[in-house]
A and B are shown apart, each in its own frame.
Chain A
Amino acid sequence: MEPFFVRYRNLLVLLALLAVQVVGLAVQVHRADSGRMSLDPRDSGGVRLIRLWASAFVSPPERLIHSSGLDLLDLWQNYIDLRHVRQQNQDLQKTVDRLRLEQAALLEDARQGQRLQALLHFQETYLYKTLPAQVIGSSGTTQSRVLYIDKGTVDGLQHDMAVITPDGIVGKVRDAFSHASQILVINDQTSGAGVILETTRIRGILRGNAQGQPQIVGIIADNRIQPGERVLTAGGDQIFPRGLPVGVVDKVVRDPQRDGFINVIVKPYAQLDRLDEVLVITSTEPRFSPDQQQDMAMSQALKGAEVQQEEAQKKASAIMAERLPGLIDPNLPPDQQPLHDSTPPVPVAHPPQPLRPDRFTPGTAPDLQNSQPGAPAQSAQTPQRNP
């Protein structure tokens, strides 16, 4: 009779591996305050180590592929062209093909040069300090919209740094390894960015849906939201600076889970599926160009002149206050100050008696307490009307 472990070894290995993974999953998931299950936003030490190993395993070949300039399309074209040359066996055709390839390579170089030039121009004129990086890989699954770039902690990258292109925002640094970083793209279901609609000023949270489209969720139905409206970052998430372009409203759909709420599908400005170069915002301290610094200095100088003018006015007021009599006389002792003067005030002078009193003269009003309804008015107090 076969021993138990030998007979059922296949099943036991399967169960053991499944049990290890279930326990591992239980460690990574916890119950949030709202009662719902959620993944830890920051990986624990062991999980991060596995991710680090995987990244270290995959990044070098990806970097090699990227740096060698190999492209699937180029390989295919080169292969077809090579067969064509062999078949025709004509030197002229070879030359033409070679020139075509060179032209294609030059065109590709020129396009890359234009992209890098635009990126450099944007980086120079952009307010915050940024670091350019190359996209070298992805997660490989549609359930996880994650990219890998060729810059890491050695280059100064940290967790939660914003990743953008000159066109619009891309995502944030989810994890930074030594020579590579993992970028969580805005069209992933677990991402989140605070955004605002430019015209209607409606705020919301941007995250991805199952189709990989970014959408603003949790908005109360509003007829003012129309396709084509620009979407900007709101700046409240402590990751993306305020006012960065995100995209335009593509369409508005009902929230299937909540009545009265809508989801706003956003067409992103950045081509999230075809990213080559990105910028990582490494510091949100404003970095001003020489022109901007000159403008600010001029503004400061003008502001300084206004301050000087106010100071001069205050000084003149103080001098006037010293010269005019006041309630406090610095030359007198405290008990003789005008403020503490106990002498009775001068009686108020009464106005002189009128030469011709009339009914408006003080003291000529009839005594209402002793008067009776219907009694004739006193003739002595009736004013004489001049002819």
Chain B
Amino acid sequence: MPVLSANSRRELEIHRFPVLVYALVPLTAVVLQAWLPRVLGRFAWFDLPLLIIVYFALGRPSPIQGTVMGFVLGIFQDALTQHAIGINGIAKTLVGFLASSFGVRIDVENHTIRVLLVLFFSLLSSTLYVSVYRVLLGLSLDWNWLDELLKAAGNSILALALFPLLDRFRIRD
């Protein structure tokens, strides 16, 4: 696995995007995440906002940016549910922070690494979600790990197509 040391972080390429991409892509992800399950029914095994958070956090290794994007999209997702606002927010905030921290140290251009990272962050997000719900809030929630595993796999497969597509919007120096 091509892991770089902390001293060589300057050698990593920092992805830059037009401001419009930063605004429209997350919004599109949230809208599609709300609309596609209506079309696909119970086969909607993906989390587009999570993919967007991971992509931007890995590509531009600024922990603050990843944290804020995770916070905003997580709160947005919570607002569309009937659950308390902040459950997804905490999970996605931590995922954004960790993904940015990983992006500093790992070569995220490799597709295999990207897929594995998405798989890991998907499961981490689900674990954080259920932990906040059950442990922090003390609420009862039935949980089906098979669904979360399928969702993580779906996210990984989708990342294979989505990340190269988003790479096209990158500003080349």
In the complex, how many angstroms separate the beta carbon of A109 from the nearest chain B beta carbon?
Answer: 18
List, in ascending order, chain A residues with CB within 8 A of B40's CB.
72
Once the chains bind, are B42 and A212 in contact (CB under 8 Å)? yes
- Given the complex, which residues of B lie within 8 Å of A22, measured CB to CB? 86, 90, 136
The reply to whether the CB of A114 lies closer than 8 angstroms to some CB of chain B is no
Q: A17-B68, A62-B34 are in contact. Are A190 and B82 (CB under 8 A)?
A: yes
Decide if B1 is an interface residue (CB 8 Å cutoff): no
Q: Which of B81, B87, B89, B94 has the largest count of A CB atoms less than 10 A from its CB?
A: B81
Quick check: B64 and A146 within 8 Å, CB to CB? no
Q: Tell me whether A305 is interfacial, beta carbon within 8 Å.
A: no
For B132, the closest partner residue in chain A by CB is A25
Interface residues of B in 127-164 (CB under 8 A from A): 129, 132, 136-144, 147, 151
Q: Decide: A72 near B38, CB < 8 A? Known: A13-B67, A18-B90.
A: no
Q: Is the CB of B137 within 8 A of A24?
A: no
Query: Could you say which interface size class chain A belongs to?
Result: 35 or more
**Nearest A-chain residue to B145, judged by Cβ:** A210
Q: Is the CB of B34 within 8 A of A148?
A: yes
Partner of A9, one of B64, B77, B84, B88: B64
What chain B residues lie within 8 Å of A209 (beta carbons)? 142
Residues of B within 8 A of A141 (CB): 47, 77, 81, 88
Q: Given A14-B67, A39-B139, A140-B33, answer yes or no on A188-B93 (Cβ-Cβ < 8 Å).
A: no
Enumerate chain A residues within 8 angstroms of B35, measured Cβ to Cβ.
61-62, 65, 136-138
Q: Is A117 an interface residue (CB 8 A)?
A: no
With A18-B93, A71-B39, A137-B34 in contact, do A146 and B81 touch (Cβ < 8 Å)? yes
Name the B residues within 8 Å of A36 (CB-CB). Answer: 138, 140
Report chain B residues within 8 Å CB of A184.
Answer: 82
In the complex with contacts A25-B136, A29-B137, A144-B83 CB distance below 8 A = yes
Confirm or deny: A189 has a beta carbon within 8 angstroms of a beta carbon on chain B. Answer: yes
B79 within 8 A of A: yes
When distances are taken between beta carbons in the complex, the residues of chain B under 8 Å from A55 are 79-80
A175 to B86, CA, bound (A): 19
Contact B137 A14 (CB under 8 A): no
Q: Annotate A106-134 by CB proximity to B: 1 below 8 A, 0 otherwise.
A: 00000000000000000000000000000
Alpha-carbon distance between A146 and B79 when the two chains are bound, in angstroms:
11
Whether A211 contacts B67 in the complex (CB less than 8 A), given A22-B86, A25-B136, A274-B41, comes out as no
- B27 interfacial by beta-carbon distance below 8 Å: yes
Given A61-B31, A72-B39, A273-B42, are A139 and B81 neighbors across the interface (CB < 8 Å)? yes
Report if A94 contacts B (CB, 8 A): no
The total number of A-B Cβ pairs within 8 Å is: 159
Q: Are B144 and A211 in contact (CB under 8 A)?
A: yes
With both chains docked as a complex, state the minimum distance between the C-beta of B3 and any C-beta of chain A, in angstroms.
Answer: 20
Assess the A29–B81 pair: CB atoms within 8 A. Answer: no
Interface string of B1-45 (1 = CB under 8 A from A): 000000000000000000000000001001101111111111010
Query: Considering residues A29, A54, A140, which has the most beta carbons from chain B within 10 angstroms of its beta carbon?
Result: A140
Instruction: Decide yes or no whether B63 CB sits under 8 A from chain A.
Output: yes
| Cα of A129 to Cα of B131 in the assembled complex, Å | 44
The answer, yes or no, to whether B85 is at the interface (CB within 8 Å) is: yes
Q: Is A50 an interface residue (CB 8 A)?
A: yes
Say yes or no for B75: interface residue by CB 8 A criterion: yes
Whether a CB of chain B sits under 8 angstroms from the CB of A87 is no
Give complex CA distance A387, B22 in Å. 133
On whether the beta carbons of A21 and B34 are closer than 8 Å, the reply is no
- B56 CB–A CB distance under 8 Å: no
Interface assignment of B55: CB less than 8 Å from any CB of chain A: no
**B102 touches A (CB below 8 Å):** no
Distance (whole angstroms) from the CB of A11 to the closest CB of chain B: 8
Besides A21-B71, A139-B80, A140-B36, 20 more A-B contacts (Cβ < 8 Å) are A13-B63, A13-B67, A17-B93, A22-B136, A50-B75, A55-B79, A58-B30, A61-B27, A137-B38, A138-B34, A138-B35, A138-B37, A138-B38, A139-B77, A140-B37, A141-B81, A144-B82, A146-B80, A274-B38, A275-B38
B residues neighboring A (CB under 8 Å) = 27, 30-31, 33-42, 44, 47, 63-64, 67-68, 71, 75-77, 79-90, 93-94, 97, 129, 132, 136-144, 147, 151
What 4 pairs between A and B have smallest CB-CB spacing?
A54-B79, A210-B142, A144-B81, A273-B41
